[in-house]
Chains A and B, each alone.
Chain A
């Protein structure tokens, strides 16, 4: 085998890694902000799935990818805000609500998808015309590195940019300070006369925006159609990633890259026909996630008030 061939495989694997990383990163950063506000939202998976379906349907019916994108983002925000109503306003158990949203999302999208299939006619599943990658002039010409880093979807650039935006917001602004306090001790804000619930609504709206984008990426960039259950546990992985990243943006980015690498490796390994059962390869990211969950003992940055509804008393 020639060096060139090996190099091509590596380049395409690492480029795939970054592509795969984008939706995970978007969902994780969104969920980070939600959890920092003290809300343990387990419904990321459902929110992404609903957004993906919305992106598909809207893009098909309007013929515009941008309308699809907008629909996905609005759906994500709506799903997250339904969590806000339940968990912040009515103080319903956050775990139950999150799980309920996931169940609802998987059932509802499956039902609506089957309904829409009837109108398309059988065996004739329409596809969207996905967004192209955007090569950055100059930079993308750099051999190897340029091909990996600078010929990606806009979503990917945006996802990585958001890691640093989130970091700057959390640690360098007054509102970031408030957000971090919210998860640690919401009463500290309340006793200064600042609304806890308004800030938690805002955090969830941002989380919904990011989950909506993540769902859109799956349909409008990584593939060209909606498939029921296509999120495939990415929303759950986002929650694992936050724990693995100890609720900090940059470690979260590293955790995303690890999981994205495993996924890319798995795809590549299937492609070149390694003699490993493909089921095992498919399961690889999740096996690593379980091992990571068992191994991670440091949760020093976990917000102290995470998952506890705030009551005045």
Chain B
């Protein structure tokens, strides 16, 4: 039979990997045929990244066998996997940023002994790029490249080492829709050349472009299916283990009075460069303003400035018509602003504090939680218990250390705290990043509930579909500027994608209308 003549490109049998008491992968088996795209789909913590690290020799599996083209192989280090023909593109790129593209590509190879011998390498890399229509400036330094271009460097780096099976870990997490379309076009050309792809993802739109999907849940493969045979909804319920409502319902609502207004805001980043270059917008009661953009285009600095964590260079911020520019975070909290930061364990919680302490973090001076200089633990515990119940926080109790909680439960602590203290405005920066589908659904519902209550909400997200579903209006940011503000029912994902890449002209042509900046 055919299958005997052509063994699968890669076959994994009964792979198990544990970290102490934590089982990351348990008895995982699957195979990839030559020239196909296999997608590993699963929620956070389902074991996708551990599995790929085992395939790349970065971790050693406790049990299980790996067959490459029918031959059993053992990977003690990435070197063995590379020698075999496996290449990996990590979700967080491993590039040396002050060095050039070509230096990153040749790093660690020694075909010329000690000599740098970059010229010949450049010829080979140019051939590779030419074959797949990849446009790269080989002498540019990595820090000068966009994240999309850095992704190409990673892919070329793997191909240069002779990879025939590429593992792509969340390859489109940081790409605009157009960039990810291009990625898939090129990946298809590679599979046409006989390369195989293992793609790790939780984004259903991309998963649908694969040939087979292996669904992982809690470290185990639940099922492996042909992509053509299933729908997105099927895959979601396989991944979560129960049916999930994919999109929250946003009811129509008339926006109320202006709550937050920003004019000509300029903010510097930690490197003292302007990260926000003159942003202006208004947010009204009963309204969610979505901030769409690839991360790193000024979103974090904008949110920190609005919250008073980062001082503004120029421009003004009004809350209910009152000038609140240059006020400190305490004053902003007292004005009734709630803040959900993008990195919850860095800016939203103290990992070594208890759940109860984190539910009142920053509110310790509130008379509800303290008597003069002393904390009132009875009332704090009552509050924490209430929050645990109301938000369904899974924890051994209010005294548990917060860093033992999952990302979703940690996020619920922040929601409980900020929703309690906020009275008019919520600033939510990537509130669902890294969360499971069930929790995402919950966060969205909570935001919509606050919208119903008359809050003004600013929501930044990398997931365009979330932005489109939740927002009343969408502001697209690129390199610290607002490229345009649109009603969410008047704009499509293509146009948003072009603007996220800074291509105003192309975006204007995409629907034949010159774009109008509606502030």
Binding site for B on A (CB under 8 A): 172-175, 177-178, 180-181, 184-185, 187-194, 301, 304, 312
Interchain CA distance A275-B56 in the complex, whole Å: 71
Q: Select one of B56, B88, B94, B114 contacting A175, CB under 8 A.
A: B114
Tell me the complex Cα distance, A180–B100, Å.
12
Q: Which of A172, A177, A194 has the most CB of B within 10 A?
A: A177
Q: Which residues of B contact A301 (CB under 8 A)?
A: 98
**Stretch of B30-38, B75-83, B305-313 with 4 or more beta carbons under 8 angstroms from chain A:** B75-83
Determine the residue in chain A with the shortest Cβ distance to B53. A312
With both beta carbons as reference points, the residue of chain A lying nearest to B77 in the complex is identified as A193
Residues of chain A lying within 8 A (CB to CB) of residue B244: none
Whether a CB of chain A sits under 8 angstroms from the CB of B480 is no
Return chain B residues, CB-CB under 8 Å to A194. 79, 108
Q: Which residues of A contact B110 (CB under 8 A)?
A: 174
Partner of B96, one of A174, A188, A193: A188
| A interface footprint on B71-101 (CB within 8 Å = 1, 0 otherwise) | 0000001111110000010100011111100
What's the Cα separation between A185 and B80 when bound, in Å? 21
Q: Which of A174, A184, A189 makes the CB contact (< 8 A) with B99?
A: A184
Interface residues of B (CB under 8 A from A): 56-58, 77-82, 88, 90, 94-99, 103-104, 106-110, 112-117, 161
Asked if A189 and B107 make an inter-chain contact with CB atoms under 8 angstroms apart, the answer reads yes
Q: Dominant SS at the A interface? A: helix
A174 touches B109 (CB 8 A): yes
- Kindly count the residue-residue contacts between A and B in the assembled complex, taking CB atoms under 8 Å apart: 71
In the bound assembly, the distance between CA atoms of A312 and B77 in angstroms comes to 12
- CB–CB A185/B94 < 8 A: yes
What are 20 contact pairs spanning A and B, CB under 8 A?
A: A173-B116, A174-B109, A174-B113, A174-B115, A175-B114, A177-B107, A178-B107, A180-B96, A184-B99, A185-B96, A187-B94, A188-B95, A188-B96, A190-B78, A191-B78, A191-B88, A191-B90, A192-B161, A193-B82, A194-B108
Contact partner, A192, options B78, B97, B99, B112, Cβ 8 Å: B78
Contact B103 A304, beta carbon cutoff 8 Å? no
B104 adjacent to A174 (CB under 8 Å): no
Question: CA–CA, A184 to B97, complex, Å?
Answer: 8
Instruction: Specify which chain B residues have a CB less than 8 angstroms from the CB of A185 in the assembled complex.
Output: 94-97
Q: Which A-chain residue is minimally distant from B89 (CB atoms)?
A: A191
Q: Which residues of A contact B109 (CB under 8 A)?
A: 174
Query: In the complex, what distance in Å separates the CA atom of A274 from the CA atom of B98?
Result: 48
Residues of A within 8 A of B112 (CB): 174
CA distance A28 to B99 in the complex (A): 24
CB of A193 within 8 A of CB of B80, answer yes
Chain B positions within 8 Å of A190 at CB level: 58, 78
Q: A174-B106, A193-B80, A312-B58 are in contact. List 8 more A-B contacts (CB 8 A).
A: A178-B107, A178-B108, A187-B94, A189-B107, A191-B56, A193-B77, A194-B79, A194-B108
A191 touches B58 (CB 8 A): yes
Q: Once bound together, how far apart are the Cα atoms of A187 and B92, in whole Å?
A: 11
Task: Find chain B residues with CB under 8 A from A188 CB.
Answer: 94-96, 104, 107
Using Cβ atoms and an 8 Å threshold, which residues of chain B touch A172? 115-116
* B94 lies within 8 A of A173 (CB): no
Q: Are B98 and A192 in contact (CB under 8 A)?
A: no
- Among B77, B96, B116, find the residue whose CB has the most chain A CB atoms closer than 10 A: B96
Residues of A within 8 A of B106 (CB): 174, 177
Which residue on chain B has the smallest CB distance to residue A182? B96
Which residues of chain A are near B98, meaning CB under 8 Å?
A: 184, 301, 304
Complex CA distance for A42 and B77, rounded to whole angstroms: 32
3 shortest A-B CB distances, which residue pairs? A193-B79, A193-B78, A192-B108
- Which has the most chain A C-beta neighbours within 10 Å: B80, B107, B109, B110? B107
Asked whether A177 and B57 contact (CB < 8 A) given A184-B97, A188-B96, A194-B108, the answer is no
Closest to B109 in A: A174
Residue of A nearest to B56 (CB): A191
Specify which chain A residues have a CB less than 8 angstroms from the CB of B108 in the assembled complex.
178, 189, 192-194
Interface centre among A178, A185, A312 (most CB of B within 10 A): A185
Q: For B161, what are the chain A residues with a Cβ–Cβ distance below 8 Å?
A: 192
B103 touches A192 (CB 8 A): no
Q: A299–B114 Cα gap in the complex (Å)?
A: 29
Report the Cα distance A189→B58, complex, angstroms: 12
